[in-house]
């Protein structure tokens, strides 16, 4: 175990820290013994076999990790933990990554490898599997299509995705990790905890006609109960085409059918505006509106926005309840269009005091 500790805690971690420092990232090298970061116990995989100093993770000190991250310090963690008696153990780095991601409630988990995802045949570049769920993963592991070393990563990703209801990725170390990566299936393998038959992605020109149909269907039900005109109903093909260049337009699809949409616009360096959130009637009450909303919020946060806002009808109680449920607060009201609209906002950072309502109302 001493040799393992010296190898892992020495040159290997030092090289990672040095590389991150070259990119002007503030890093710190940690192991599971530091600050009681990783509590573990001796792993018993087979009662008839003593695996030596191999450990099983019991607890992660998430408070320590969150303190570092909140101060823009990136922890580089060595897979070494200790038990209550001070004995140190070697840990599987894939499962450690999963446990750490769960402990800090990370939005995503990335497993970085030298292969761009999972392949049915490593010799066939066209055999990459874009999406895996638990059922398919288990079958591919059983059929030995996913080999043991990669199976460990897949199982660790499944553990994270199932417990967090979030998505994990296995991608090539040469692939740039950018939020826009999440909107395509061109790289890596996306792993879902449970099978999902819907997908959120950036809209393309080919989606515009369907977006128009959804908007007409969704916003007409509001128009039927009021005596003033709602702006979204006047939108044209050309308007949406222009928005594809000036905004982030997201679409929600189910079995390749477009069923929902939302848009995000940058108002200033820290403020984003959401608009045109709608889901087809037959797919409502499934929580898909909230899923679309949260996806756009995460995207806004990634883009550096610390706050976000949108306008809604002041007298539409059901809409107000929806946004209140999603932690939006009413910030201001205005009636420049001849009817009262409410500006509702959400804090993605730590300051809502400097929002100019005139940007929205």
Q: What is the Cα–Cα distance from 163 to 312, expressed in whole angstroms?
A: 34
pLDDT at 274 over 90: yes
Beta bridge partners of 198: 254
Fold type of domain 201-359: Aminopeptidase (3.40.630)
Pairing of strands 118-119, 189-192: unpaired
Q: Give residue-wise pLDDT tens across range 31-84.
A: 888 888 999 999 887 677 776 778 899 999 999 999 999 999 999 999 999 998
Pick left, alpha or beta for residue 245 (phi over 0 → left; psi -120 to 50 → alpha; otherwise beta). Answer: alpha
Average pLDDT, the chain: 84
Q: Which pLDDT does position 183 carry in this prediction?
A: 53
Who wins on pLDDT, 176 or 275? 275
Q: Which pLDDT does position 77 carry in this prediction?
A: 92
Give the percent of the chain with pLDDT over 90. 37
Q: Where are the alpha helices (DSSP H) in the chain?
A: 2-7, 13-22, 62-70, 93-103, 134-142, 148-164, 208-223, 237-246, 288-302, 317-325
Radius of gyration of the chain (CA): 24
Q: Which pLDDT does position 272 carry in this prediction?
A: 93
* Assigned CATH for 2-195: 3.40.1160.10
Q: Which pLDDT does position 1 carry in this prediction?
A: 54
3-state secondary structure of 182: helix
Tokens of 94: 């894939």
Q: Give residue-wise pLDDT tens across range 223-271.
A: 665 666 777 888 999 999 999 999 999 999 987 889 999 999 999 888 9
- From first CA to last CA, the distance across the chain in angstroms is 64
Q: Parse the chain into domains and list their residue ranges.
A: 2-195, 201-359
Beta bridge partners of 313: 341
Q: What is the Cα–Cα distance from 289 to 132, expressed in whole angstroms?
A: 24
- Specify the DSSP element, H or E, that contains 78: strand 74-78
- Specify the DSSP element, H or E, that contains 277: strand 271-279
Q: Give residue-wise pLDDT tens across range 286-329.
A: 778 888 998 899 889 888 898 999 998 887 788 888 898 888 99
Q: Give residue-wise pLDDT tens across range 98-121.
A: 999 999 998 889 999 988 889 988
Say how many CA atoms lie within 13 Å of 306 toward its Cβ. Answer: 9
């Amino acid at each position: 175990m001493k040799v393992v500790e010296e190898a892992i805690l020495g040159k290997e971690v030092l090289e990672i820290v040095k590389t991150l420092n070259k990119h002007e990232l503030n890093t710190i090298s940690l192991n599971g013994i530091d600050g009681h970061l990783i509590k573990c116990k001796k792993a018993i995989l087979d009662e008839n076999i003593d695996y030596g100093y191999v450990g099983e993770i019991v607890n992660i000190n998430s408070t320590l990790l969150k303190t570092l991250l909140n101060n823009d310090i990136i922890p580089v963690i060595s897979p070494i933990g200790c038990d209550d008696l001070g004995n140190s153990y070697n840990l599987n780095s894939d499962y450690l990554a999963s446990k750490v991601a769960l402990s800090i409630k990370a939005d995503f988990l990335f497993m970085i490898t030298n292969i761009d995802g999972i392949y049915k045949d490593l010799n066939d570049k066209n055999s990459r599997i874009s999406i895996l769920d638990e059922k398919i993963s288990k079958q591919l592991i059983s059929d030995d299509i996913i080999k043991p070393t990669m199976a460990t990563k897949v199982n660790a990703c499944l553990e994270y995705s199932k417990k967090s209801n979030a998505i994990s990725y296995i991608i090539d170390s040469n692939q740039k990790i950018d939020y826009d990566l999440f909107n395509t299936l061109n790289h890596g393998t996306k792993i879902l905890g449970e099978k999902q038959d819907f997908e959120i992605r950036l809209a393309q020109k080919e989606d515009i006609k369907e977006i128009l149909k959804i908007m007409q269907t969704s916003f007409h039900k509001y128009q039927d109960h009021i005596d003033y005109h709602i702006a979204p109903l006047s939108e044209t093909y050309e308007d949406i085409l222009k928005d594809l260049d000036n905004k982030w337009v997201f679409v929600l699809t189910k079995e390749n059918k477009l069923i929902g949409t939302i848009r995000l616009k940058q108002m200033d360096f820290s403020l984003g505006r959401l608009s045109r959130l709608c889901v087809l009637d037959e797919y409502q009450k499934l929580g898909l509106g909230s899923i679309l909303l949260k996806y756009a919020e995460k995207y806004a946060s990634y883009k550096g926005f610390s706050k976000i806002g949108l306008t809604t009808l002041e007298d539409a109680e059901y809409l107000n309840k929806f946004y209140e449920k999603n932690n939006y607060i009413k910030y201001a009201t205005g009636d420049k269009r001849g009817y009262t609209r409410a500006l509702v906002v959400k804090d993605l950072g730590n300051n809502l005091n400097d929002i100019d309502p005139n940007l929205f109302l």
